[in-house]
Structure 1
């Protein structure tokens, strides 16, 4: 029996809230209707998905597995609806997402030589949304940075970028030519996730930064140090922040990503254009390349 996407959406709402009443309110349906739909889904799959008792609602092992798989399935269905709507309007448009510090223009220009009639729009994205935007069809192709949850995606490595330490301008190592991980041992780290990029763990500064701008502001305020891809030194500056190379740190990996269910000649051609211009894109984030034609000193 085919999986009913409406029942799956109802299940996901209950599984996310672990509360039938709140899930029914979010879905704008009556709670008894929701309960019947969940029981019907359990019957369709031949296994209990939820445990209901006096303590509340909990997921069974099967329920946890289904919740893990439900996100990409529902996002893919939403993306199909979005693409059909766009196609019905007769428009030829490609939405390209990109992380901060990644220059999309070289690929867009190359793509335009083959598809001058296609409008390529661009949207900056952050690390905590890059997978979701691809899966639900809000962007067609993404220049992403690892880590990314790859479930439901096709992810292709493009190039790597060295990382730099991001330090307050008054830090003892600000302005150094380069430093090592050991130099920063014990420093509180501002990082978007609990998985740090260093071999030696740092104390958590207690802030979950989201994006380059937040990182720079927190560092400037003296709340900790951080690390960014080298391209930040080209595209960003802050009077109270210093960027210092840290060569031994693992590089930042830039990839191209698209929903695995997305099959389109336009997407394939943009992929090819992005891969053909990867070296140019990578060099756009290299300050030394710009400095060779400009004697200006980087602003820190």
Structure 2
């Protein structure tokens, strides 16, 4: 075993929790209060972690505490490692449940017809494990999966964060512009991206990037479907979304196909290197649904 492997194997989750508290607050006293321990054992634990790794994690002087470059790296990695441990514990407890379920998380209002068809088909399968549906807001599925709070998610490529997740394609489709029903664009049979990007009286809604920041632009910053729906109804914004996600649109909205918008693929996603017989059953149902029920690009069940 290499020296590096021995060092990594020797790190305790307790040490990572202690280090992360100090790195978050950059103050040993406040970190000790958060952890519910005295400051001396916290300081000893951090020094022991520095000895294990052979690096200095904090610069300490009379002005305060600051992370070193190595400390910045460990701060990022420790968060991921602690999240992975917590997720593993949650998944393990769920696996031991005498009445197992699958928790599926999806963005509220997204892919409604597809989700309904998937749940119906799965429910007809022999020995199907019940699926509990959790609804979230824009871009939250990845974090929920990584924390172990859900087993699987409906997500969209290329707009969602799929790093570290395994996926199975379900439906590839075009996009539509959701506009106020009274706006001239609503009378169009189709539009292009150039038609909707620079509408002076109707700026496009700005979605958060994967890092949580927003692109520049005059449109409103949005995070929830409810916020979007009301802003469109009020004539304050428009948005471009997958065709099947328009199930939530209000009577005050109109959906117009966008001919040159990038196609979007709805996927079933789960943390890489995880799985269970229950999840395998849902994936088999999803594969059969894609093969037998949905026409690629239609966004609706075949009839």
TM-score relative to the length of structure 2: 0.79
| Structure 1 residues 45 and 202: CA distance shift in structure 2, 3 A | closer
| Structure 1 residues 109 and 173: CA distance shift in structure 2, 3 A | closer
Tell whether the 8 Å contact from 2:18 to 2:45 is kept in structure 1 after alignment.
Answer: yes
- The residue that corresponds to 1:231 in the other structure is 244
- The residue that corresponds to 1:51 in the other structure is 59
TM superposition outliers: structure 1 runs of 4+ over 6 Å: none
- The residue that corresponds to 1:154 in the other structure is 166
Q: 1:222 aligns with which of 228, 235, 255?
A: 235
- The residue that corresponds to 2:150 in the other structure is 139
Tell whether the 8 Å contact from 1:106 to 1:280 is kept in structure 2 after alignment.
Answer: no
- The residue that corresponds to 2:257 in the other structure is 245
- The residue that corresponds to 2:187 in the other structure is 175
Q: 2:68 aligns with which of 55, 60, 74?
A: 60
Q: Distance in 2 between matches of 1:148 and 1:68?
A: 21
Q: Distance in 1 between matches of 2:42 and 2:236?
A: 47
Q: 2:208 aligns with which of 170, 193, 197?
A: 193
Tell whether the 8 Å contact from 2:166 to 2:270 is kept in structure 1 after alignment.
Answer: yes
Instruction: Map 1:237-276 to 2 at 5 A.
Output: 237-276=249-288
How far apart are 1:281 and its partner, in Å? 7.4
- The residue that corresponds to 1:298 in the other structure is none
How far apart are 1:130 and its partner, in Å? 0.8
What secondary structure sits across from 2:186 in the alignment? coil
Tell whether the 8 Å contact from 1:72 to 1:151 is kept in structure 2 after alignment.
Answer: no
What secondary structure sits across from 2:78 in the alignment? helix
Q: Distance in 2 between matches of 1:35 and 1:205?
A: 48
Q: 2:105 aligns with which of 97, 110, 132?
A: 97
What secondary structure sits across from 2:43 in the alignment? helix
Q: Distance in 1 between matches of 2:70 and 2:209?
A: 27
What secondary structure sits across from 2:103 in the alignment? strand
Question: Unaligned stretches of 5+ in structure 1?
Answer: 196-200, 294-300
Question: Unaligned stretches of 5+ in structure 2?
Answer: 1-6
Please say which of residues 174-183 and 84-93 is displaced more in the overlay. Answer: 84-93
Please say which of residues 81-90 and 165-174 is displaced more in the overlay. Answer: 81-90
Instruction: Map 1:100-119 to 2 at 5 A.
Output: 100-102=109-111, 103-112=114-123, 114-116=125-127, 118-119=129-130
How far apart are 1:55 and its partner, in Å? 5.0
Verify: 1:74 aligned to 2:82, yes or no: yes
Report the aligned-residue RMSD: 3.1
Q: For this pair of structures, how many residues does the alignment match?
A: 284
